Structure 1
Amino acid sequence: MEKLKALILCAIVAIVLTFSGCVSQSQNSPTSELEHKKVIKIVMIPDEDPTKMLEDMKPLIKKLEEKTGYKYEVHLVSDYSAAVEALLNKKADIGYLGPLTYVLAHAKDPNIVPFVKEVSAKTGKATYRSIIVVNKETYDKGVKDLKSLKEHAHEIVFAFVDPDSTSGYLIPYSALLKAGINPEKDFKKIVFAGGHDAVELAVKEGRVNAGADNDRTYPAMVSKGLISTDTNIIIWKSDPIPGYPWVYRVDTLPKDLREKIKQVFLNMSKEEALKISGGKVIGYVEATPDDYKIIEESARALGKL
């Protein structure tokens, strides 16, 4: 009998110790994972030339490493959906996304949340606008607004950025529908250029008649002499859109580390922000999921969610 009691007692102790170990591991898993790998991975959308984006990011990476004590790796992906997948599969801890890309990711995993959003260099606000541009030849034919674009739709080759782009697809597509233009049916052809700068270059070079972009990329390219207001003419602007968010996974990064990362962005100087954004951004403000409700509503209306 005494032997039986001893065996039962040992079994109970073993179970309690095992359970305690599991609880402890679960509670500390973000820290444990990071201590093991010592590298925080960042995934970024293809907003412009990849080589330039990586070069522009170097000052940010240096400051993050200094302030947090961790190493960081930047991974540029081929398209918007790849950025979402990297975050969903925990192959990335931090992401630089478009508003729609973030909404799609958050809908699938609420652990992906925004912590800051960009302040536009052009307006000084944490918003930006989608635009539609046409080349000079198309403009000279009379395409000067959405009404005339509809009249010439059958001869228009139109470029969007990516099906998961906010300003390069979601917002302008919705505007075209409201103007009575069904892009799939009414345009001669639609193409996806893969990047905002690629849309502008396609318009400038006459490979497409018109395209969707935003007022972040457009003025930056004009200032660098890559396009001009004579070759790429704006015929439509959207209402304000909440700025591009930086997001992180709250389940893979401990709270104190997340706060340090956020503060790096919030305390960034204007010069630093301009450098890492290619001249598009002058700073960052805090962001929450509620800031992107308008994007979520538009996405649902187009069946994206």
Structure 2
Amino acid sequence: MTIFKRTIASLMTVGALIAYNAGAQAAEECKNPDSLVFSIIPTEETTQELDIYKPLIDKLKEKTGKSVEFFMPTSYASVIEGMVNGWVQIGVHGPNSYVLAKEKDPALEVFATYTKAKGHFQEEGPGYRAVLVVKTGSKFDSIESLKGSVLGLADPASTSGNLLPRMVFGEKVGVGPDLEKYFSKVVYTGGHDQSALAVEEGRVDAAFVATHRLDNVIDRGLAKPEDYKVLWTSDLIPQDPMVYDGKLCEPLKAQIRDAFLTLNEDPASKPFFDGIHSTKFVAMKDSDYDIIRKFVEAEKAAGK
């Protein structure tokens, strides 16, 4: 064998060893915890009855062979921090809070969302809309009539309850993200349900609410569809993303995906899907939320 051939052979052997060691190291570095922590942004469902999540939790336990704990968050930010800091492995975010979380930890991966059943304001499918609602019978009957009124927003990290209103509706009324220039007062209520109730109870004059969250308030008997008048409706927004820690080992991630995407095939899951007014989970990818990133970038550019 010539020196040249021996050199090439040696390099190939070294390259193979490096590749093998890199693969082995990556396999060693992936996470495979004994238990999983699951969390979801504060919604009517989380605060209403945690029992509705039992079929999903049970399916996760079955597919992964691990114990699963439910973390009750206090805000969108607490779910973001839980995942970024690594003590929450599976999270359900809002579209905007997912984008914010992934900026902090690029390893986070979206893998699914749910399709919504048709409701009072919600249309069927894996998307929803933001609606600007006022109380039926109030003096507010147009966007123009709302100038100088009190507006309710859900949470700073909410897509339909803050980001989209500022970046889309704000442009429509000529104030950009500074809704405070159009309304006499802008308050954060803490969630979509609180925004809807604040309108119904007269604590705010108007509020931006996600269609499926507004339906939840109505279905709980806290308000009626006829209590609300819609003055503006957004374009379609992708539903809340299901996200896991991308540092989890690949077989574990596959088991988690399988638990979500096959849950509707289990008759025992019907109470869960009925509880969240959904029909099934569907696969999603990171690029599905690029529309949200455009809003976020526009918001940053505006210095809001």
TM-score, normalised on structure 2? 0.83
Q: Which residue of 1 aligns with 2:290?
A: 293
Give 2:259's aligned residue. Answer: 264
1:249-272 deviations in whole A, cap 9, x for unaligned?
A: 111x21111111111111122873
- Residue 133 of structure 1 contacts residue 236 of structure 1 at CA under 8 Å; is this kept in 2? yes
Return the alpha-carbon distance in structure 1 between the equivalents of residues 189 and 276 of structure 2: 22
Q: Distance in 2 between matches of 1:178 and 1:114?
A: 30
State the 1:178 CA deviation. 1.8
Task: Give the whole-Å Cα distance in 2 for the aligned partners of 1:187 and 1:273.
Answer: 43
Q: Which residue of 2 aligns with 1:39?
A: 35
In structure 1, give the amino acid aligned to 2:132. Answer: I
Write out per-residue CA displacement over residues 94-121 of structure 1, whole angstroms, 9 at most, x where no aligned residue: 1100000101111221110100012111
Give the whole-Å Cα distance in 2 for the aligned partners of 1:81 and 1:273: 30
Choose which of 98, 102, 105 in structure 1 pairs with 2:98. 102
Instruction: Tell me what 1:152 maps to.
Output: 146
Alignment partners' CA distance in 2, 1:66 and 1:79: 29
Correspondence list, 1:218-257, <5 A: 218-251=214-247, 253-257=248-252
Which residue of structure 2 aligns with residue 165 of structure 1?
158
C-alpha contact (below 8 Å) 2:39/2:92 kept by paired residues: yes
Shift, 1:152, TM fit: 3.3
Say whether the 8 Å CA contact 1:87–1:93 is kept in structure 2: yes
Please report how far the alpha carbon of residue 276 of structure 1 lies from its aligned counterpart in structure 2 after TM superposition.
5.2
User: How much identity, in percent, do the aligned residues show?
Assistant: 32
Asked if 1:80 corresponds to 2:80, the answer is: no
Match of 1:5 in 2: none
1:279 maps to 2:273? no
Aligned ranges for residues 138-149 of structure 1 at < 5 Å?
Answer: 138=138, 141=139, 143-146=140-143, 148=144
Q: Cα gap change, 1:49/1:268 in structure 2, threshold over 3 Å: closer, same or farther?
A: closer
Query: Partner residue of 2:4?
Result: none
Say whether the 8 Å CA contact 1:164–1:170 is kept in structure 2: yes
Structure 1 pair 296–159 and aligned structure 2 pair: CA distance change class (3 A): same
Alignment of 1:92-131 (within 5 A): 92-122=88-118, 123-131=123-131
The answer as to 2:153 corresponding to 1:189 is no
User: Residues 49 and 289 of structure 1: is their aligned pair in 2 closer, same or farther, counting only changes over 3 Å?
Assistant: closer
2:183 and 2:98 map into 1 onto residues whose CA distance is 29
Match for 2:74: what amino acid? S
Contact 1:222 1:228 in 2 (8 A): yes
Residue pair 2:128, 2:237 contacting (<8 A) in 1 also: yes
Q: Please report how far the alpha carbon of residue 299 of structure 1 lies from its aligned counterpart in structure 2 after TM superposition.
A: 0.8
CA contact (8 A) 2:40 2:46 kept: no
User: What residue identity is the alignment partner of 1:162?
Assistant: D
Match for residue 168 of structure 2 among 175, 182, 185: 175
CA distance in 2, matches of 1:22, 1:286: 30
Tell me if 1:135 matches 2:135.
yes
The equivalent of 2:213 in structure 1 is 217
Q: 2-side partners of 1:196 and 1:48: how far apart?
A: 8
Instruction: Give CA-to-partner distance per residue, 1:209-250, whole Å, 9 cap, x none.
Output: 111111111223223322112322222111010111100011
Spell out, residue by residue over 1:162-189, the C-alpha distance to the aligned partner (whole angstroms, 9 max, x if none): 0100111111222331222542122121
Alpha-carbon distance change, 21 to 296 in structure 1, aligned in 2, over 3 angstroms: closer
> What SS does the corresponding residue of 2:30 show, helix, strand or coil?
helix
Aligned-residue Cα RMSD (Å) equals: 2.4
Amino acid at match of 1:298: F
**Distance in 2 of aligned mates of 1:213 and 1:274:** 25
- Contact persistence 2:154–2:188 (CA under 8 A): yes
Structure 1 residues 207 and 137, CA, compared in 2 at 3 Å: closer, same or farther? Answer: farther
How far apart, in 2, do the equivalents of 1:207 and 1:176 lie? 21
Q: Distance in 1 between matches of 2:22 and 2:107?
A: 21
Whichever residue aligns with residue 157 of structure 2, its letter is: D
Answer yes or no: is the 8 Å Cα contact 2:56–2:272 preserved in 1: no
Structure 1 stretches of 5 or more lacking a match? Answer: 1-19
**In the aligned structure 1, how far is the partner of 2:270 from the partner of 2:255?**
17
